[in-house]
Structure formats: C-alpha cells, structure tokens
Amino acid sequence: MLKKIIILGIIGAIILVGIGFSFSSTTIEENEEEQTMIITGDVVMPSKVSRPGCEEIDRCYIPSNIIIEKGKQVTWVNEDSAFHSVTSGFYETPTELFDSGHLDPYESYTLTFDESGTFDYFCTLHPWMKGQVIVE
Ligand SMILES: [Cu+2]
C-alpha cells in the first residue's frame, strides 16, 4: 500500500514538472516574437503618445528625424495600443504625398523615398505627433 502511494506520488511529480516546463517554453517563444517585431521598424510610435506630452521631449515618433539615402526605405511600426498614422505634411497643411491611413497596434508601414528632400509628416489623429524624413 505504501509503495503504491510513493509510486503515484512520483508519477504526479513528473507530470507537474512536465506541465511547468511546457508553460515556461511557450513564454520564451512569445518574448522572441516581440523582440523581432521591435527590430523590424526604423521609426517607432511608442506607447502613450495618443496623449499630448511626447512632443515636449521629441519622442512621438522615435527617432523623430531620420536621415536616409535616396532610394532607401523607411518602416514605421505602431507599438502603441492606439491607432496612429504617418501622413505627409503638417496637420493644418497635409501635402498628400503619402498617407498610411490608421495603423492598428503593431501594424507597420513602409515607404521608399526615390527623391531627395525633407519630408515632414504627422499623425492625423494626434496633431502634436510630428516627424521628418531627410533623404540625401
Ligand atoms: Cu497618433
């Protein structure tokens, strides 16, 4: 009788360790996916920029100024839980050169710049969000 209880106890412990191990391995996989998403963006819309304040420290788009060579791409990633856009020009005077439309959380937007110049952009939902692409 005592032998049976010990054996059952050992089997139970093995099952519990197995469950614990499978839980911890899925957590690691999820973290790796998140890191890959962060690396793919050249410019990030960080969390909490849907409220004013980020413009005071120039961190509504990070970096708010990006310098690239002619013909290269820029990828923006929305890492906030709110919608944002990448729209050419200024809030009062959009230039209609490019417009991402509303980007969902973790959605990205990529543009190729074939002409040199300074391209200002903003977010149609949050007028304080401003950025600039400089193409050399
Ligand atoms: Cu926005």
41 C-alpha to center of ligand 1: Å?
Answer: 16
99 C-alpha to center of ligand 1: Å?
Answer: 13
Ligand 1 ion: nearby residues, β-carbon < 5 Å: 84, 123, 125-126, 129
Q: Tell me: do 88 and 110 sit in the same domain.
A: yes
Higher pLDDT, 7 or 55: 55
* Across 94-123, average pLDDT: 97
Q: Tell me: do 52 and 105 sit in the same domain.
A: yes
Q: What is the pLDDT of residues 23-69, one digit of tens each?
A: 444 444 555 555 444 447 899 999 999 999 999 999 999 999 999 99
**Nearest by Cα to 109 from 132, 134, 90, 84:** 84
13 C-alpha to center of ligand 1: Å?
Answer: 51
Give the per-residue pLDDT at 9: 56
96 C-alpha to center of ligand 1: Å?
Answer: 17
Backbone angles phi, psi at 32, to 5 degrees: -65, -40
C-alpha 121/C-alpha 136 separation (Å) is 17
Q: Tell me: do 81 and 53 sit in the same domain.
A: yes
* Across 89-101, average pLDDT: 97
Q: Tell me: do 62 and 84 sit in the same domain.
A: yes
Give the per-residue pLDDT at 25: 45
36 C-alpha to center of ligand 1: Å?
Answer: 23
Q: Tell me: do 61 and 18 sit in the same domain.
A: no
Q: Tell me: do 56 and 109 sit in the same domain.
A: yes
Give the per-residue pLDDT at 61: 98
Q: Tell me: do 56 and 1 sit in the same domain.
A: no
60 C-alpha to center of ligand 1: Å?
Answer: 8
Q: Tell me: do 34 and 51 sit in the same domain.
A: no
Q: Tell me: do 4 and 56 sit in the same domain.
A: no
70 C-alpha to center of ligand 1: Å?
Answer: 27
Q: What is the pTM of this model?
A: 0.71
120 C-alpha to center of ligand 1: Å?
Answer: 15
Q: Tell me: do 26 and 58 sit in the same domain.
A: no
Sheet holding 73-78, edge to edge: 43-45, 73-78, 108-112
Number of domains in the chain: 2
The whole domain housing 26 covers 1-39
